Amino acid sequence: MSGETKMKRVRNFFQHHFNPLHIFCRLRGAGLSAMAARRMSMVYEKVVYKVFLL
């Protein structure tokens, strides 16, 4: 596997697992209400995700 292919796989992994919708689903799965999970994932998106633009 070439270095470029590895980097794409790593990037795809991070894009998926740190996606705000993925975070929302994990928070819901952890037992948070829909409203609380939505608020937390929105803050996460604005403060973290958009800064790094994964």
Residue-wise pLDDT for 20-52, tens only, equals: 999 999 999 999 999 999 999 999 999 988 887
Exposed e or buried b per residue across 6-25, where buried means at least 16 C-beta atoms within 10 angstroms of its C-beta: eeeeeeeeeeeeeebeebbe
Is the model's pLDDT at 14 over the cut of 70?
Answer: yes
pLDDT score, position 21? 94
pLDDT score, position 54? 56
The average pLDDT across 3-20 equals 88
pTM exceeding 0.95: no
Is the model's pLDDT at 1 over the cut of 70?
Answer: no
